[in-house]
Amino acid sequence: MRALAQDLLAGGPTAAAVADFDGIPNEALLSLRLACALHRAALDGRAPALRRYFPSTGGAYDPQRDAEGLAEAVREGVIAEAELIGDYLMGPPQTNDVGRCTGLLGGFLAFANEIDAPFDLLEIGCSAGLNLAFDRYHYAIGGLEWGDPASAVRLSPDWRGPPPALEATPRIRRRLGADIAPIDVSAPQTPARLASYVWPDQPDRLNRLLSAIEIARGTPRQIDRDSAEVWLKNQLATAEPGVGRLVFHSAMWLYLPRSVQDAVTAAIVDAGHRATADTPLGWLSLEPGASARAPQACEISLTMWPGGVRRVLGTAHTHGFWVQWNP
């Protein structure tokens, strides 16, 4: 990213590559879109100069020795991968990290325990929908374990605070998701696409992601290409007696325009006002918030209807490396 920024300011090929980009860089994460496009080129076996420096492709990087070489490799990559970069600039980064399930798990279980009924999972901004299979992963939390002991996805965050109540067994009826640009886990190019959004020097995250994709391929669910506010309004229009619904999302709220945020909130709150003890509704989120003061931290909150009481359950690292649980 430093090499990209320096080249952009110098009027190099990076400046030309982003000349037509009309997003607000701070909100649209322009730097991440560029860096991940270059990572994708390396993962696909191209960009040999970059592959020398990325641990994810067998390379290594020494900032004291390799900064100049990396900068030249970046410039070469930007020129050679203009078409790929253009594709990545068109949509937000798809950091579909199942590590976020470590922060969401306590909320999932709290909802399941309190309604004591089957429920539908409704995820907005779901990308490939990997978090819809949260109950098929294994968790080691505060000295306790939960989930599938044989799962290839094993999550063991630095847990701070008391463990959440792990006694509940969620009865998930349907797994539904929506995204404006969903990624199909059955497509052969999906692993490389999602892997490109993982930092090249984090092999554990990369391996976990690839295992989660395999689990998702064997998990029945439905993912629709739709905007969050339209999809939710349709999904929440009617309720089935004896079935709960849990809307959730993680690290996607900042990508939504304010008007869409307001429309999503209105759709959920309106459905909440119509919820009854026999048709309960929950809204679980892991997003930047007032209590998330640590670097790269998100606030974990759960609102339940009837009642509409919002509870802040804790904070978590945006990639699930640690969780501070203090409901």
Q: What is the CATH number of the domain that holds 205?
A: 3.40.50
Task: Please tell me whether residues 222 and 275 are part of one structural domain.
Answer: yes
pLDDT tens track, the chain, 327 positions:
999 999 999 999 999 999 988 777 666 889 999 999 999 999 999 999 999 999 999 999 999 999 999 999 999 999 999 999 999 998 878 888 899 999 999 999 999 999 989 999 999 999 999 999 999 999 999 889 999 999 999 999 999 999 999 998 999 999 999 999 899 999 999 999 999 999 999 988 999 999 999 999 999 999 999 999 999 999 999 999 999 999 999 999 988 889 999 999 999 999 999 999 999 999 999 999 877 677 789 999 999 999 999 999 999 999 999 999 998
| 3-class DSSP state of 170 | coil
Task: Please tell me whether residues 59 and 103 are part of one structural domain.
Answer: no
Task: Please tell me whether residues 317 and 230 are part of one structural domain.
Answer: yes
- Residue ending a domain, among 69, 89, 109, is 89
Tell me which residue of 219, 195, 223 sits closest to 209, measured CA to CA.
Answer: 195
Task: Please tell me whether residues 108 and 84 are part of one structural domain.
Answer: no
Indicate the pTM of the whole model. 0.88
Task: Please tell me whether residues 125 and 236 are part of one structural domain.
Answer: yes
Task: Please tell me whether residues 141 and 164 are part of one structural domain.
Answer: yes
Task: Please tell me whether residues 17 and 82 are part of one structural domain.
Answer: yes
Task: Please tell me whether residues 305 and 201 are part of one structural domain.
Answer: yes
Are the C-beta atoms of 206 and 117 separated by less than 8 Å?
no
Structural domain harbouring 38: 2-89
Domain count within the chain: 2
Ramachandran class of 294: left when φ > 0, alpha when ψ lies in -120 to 50, beta otherwise: beta
Task: Please tell me whether residues 154 and 290 are part of one structural domain.
Answer: yes
